[in-house]
Chain A
């Protein structure tokens, strides 16, 4: 490194160029806006449905009804959208060949990955907070009147909203790193869909024996459930769940970094 190019100056330049690439990518804007609209619209639809059919539900279902869990149910699907959002930041560059230009301009590949991770993490956090909080407010406004409903002051509600946003941010970062590992949009999307959407459905029906209790709660989707769902009696507590998921992201990051340095672009 030449003396006059300090690390901080290079980091600022890399951040700026990554920001230009991210903000000029149409598929990212579509996915981000789609995730926001999907979350809020689905929360609206589900809560309006419960409001309309509340009296036809039956006593048992009414007693088991959890307004926040039902409202935030879209968090079972949104990880796919946020994961794709993160993956696109890198797979789109491999798709177009832009990545070769990126690495020619900045041969310090760890720096490129760090800049991408900072931007994906920051954007993911803002977008997920707006999505989850918006969905919560819209959904609870629909439930108000007929069905039990919550506000942000209700015990556990603010925690669920923050936990859901943290979950989505971590899935966006996971998506970025999966994208680095597989370098293809199609494979990344399939992998994310498998891990976050299909696997939880598969393992949910398994008997909750000893093996289940020592494996399933540690799956990414179940750690996510720990973060936002109120029924966590068999699962990890929220704080260790968030830390463990962050640990997964770090492991993925280390693997991505190792491969990024040895592979051709």
Chain B
């Protein structure tokens, strides 16, 4: 097959994935919710620290990370972008649209790659913009005694850009889990289990056990990308953590791809 025909097919698949993504009623709403919590979170947390700065203990003041604090809305937004990733696949299975999709593009690996690219690009562009806005809003609150960060500071630009990158990875993890489970409730349960429940469970375990497992959990490893100061001595470095998180996402994606190629729809 000529290169031109291949390119045409990729373009056509990308266009159809784009149309499908935006024609689901809940998608714009979920994306808006994610952006709002990132930006508003930066402002609210910034204002909270400014008003209560004097009541922080000296140790907490010394370890304060203004960049991370202004980006913590990401922790809420990950729920929305992850659910979006799950729904991007399971919605098609629920309506039966997936049969049409695969009839139109029988190259399932290509379809899965384009789906991931379209979702990833949308989430990355919007969430990166939101992370920069949250950073600016948050830093505008840190006046007076609370230290504030600027994009030129060591690791700051990486952390702010990392907020958008992390959310992109979370969306892709949701996509992979959706493709693995093919059902909205199961996909959501798997996603929330891995990203939310697992760290809380590990946190309940006695110290010594929890501290050893904690840094290697997907969410904890990935979140190092948008920390400027490591939250604990056991934490992985930003790129180590991001690499481990990317490995988890890639493993889930590979498993989903294998099953997508083998299973009937």
Contacts and interface: CB of A to CB of B under 8 A. Distances in A.
B75 to A, nearest CB: 6
B76 interface: yes
Interface in A42-71: 42, 45-46, 49-50, 53, 56-57, 61, 70
B48 A211 contact: yes
B197 to A, nearest CB: 6
A210 B52 contact: yes
Interface stretch (B79-87, B101-109, B121-129): B79-87
Nearest to B47: A211
Given A80-B192, A208-B55, A209-B55, A194 B79 contact: yes
B41 to A, nearest CB: 7
Interface range for A: 35 or more
Interface string B53-64: 111100010000
Nearest to A61: B207
A193 B196 contact: yes
Contacts of A184: 26
A100 B26 CA distance: 20
A67 to B, nearest CB: 13
Interface stretch (B4-12, B162-170, B198-206): B198-206
B9 to A, nearest CB: 31
Chain A interface main SS type: helix
A198 B205 CA distance: 19
A49 B206 contact: yes
B213 to A, nearest CB: 12
A5 interface: no
A265 to B, nearest CB: 16
A193 B45 contact: no
A7 B29 CA distance: 40
Contacts of B188: 185-186, 189-190
B70 interface: no
Nearest to A195: B76
Contacts of A209: 48, 51-55
Given A53-B206, A190-B79, A206 B200 contact: no
Contact of B204 (A73, A194, A211): A73
B144 interface: no
B209 interface: yes
B90 to A, nearest CB: 9
Interface in A24-47: 27, 42, 45-46
B50 to A, nearest CB: 9
Contact of B80 (A27, A46, A53, A190): A190
A203 to B, nearest CB: 8
A187 interface: yes
Contact of A50 (B48, B52, B206): B206
A128 to B, nearest CB: 18
B198 to A, nearest CB: 10
Given A42-B204, A190-B79, A209-B53, 13 more contacts: A53-B209, A57-B207, A61-B207, A185-B185, A186-B87, A190-B30, A193-B196, A197-B197, A197-B200, A199-B76, A202-B76, A207-B48, A208-B55
Interface of A: 27, 42, 45-46, 49-50, 53, 56-57, 61, 70, 73-74, 76-77, 80, 88, 95, 184-187, 189-190, 193-194, 197-199, 201-203, 206-212
Interface of B: 26, 29-30, 37, 41, 45, 47-49, 51-56, 60, 72, 75-76, 79-80, 83, 86-87, 94, 184-185, 188, 192, 196-197, 200-201, 204-209
The 8 closest A-B pairs by CB, nearest first: A209-B52, A207-B52, A73-B204, A207-B56, A206-B48, A209-B55, A190-B83, A190-B79
19 contacts: A46-B204, A49-B205, A77-B201, A95-B94, A185-B184, A185-B185, A186-B86, A187-B30, A187-B83, A189-B188, A190-B79, A190-B83, A194-B37, A197-B200, A198-B75, A202-B75, A206-B52, A207-B51, A211-B48
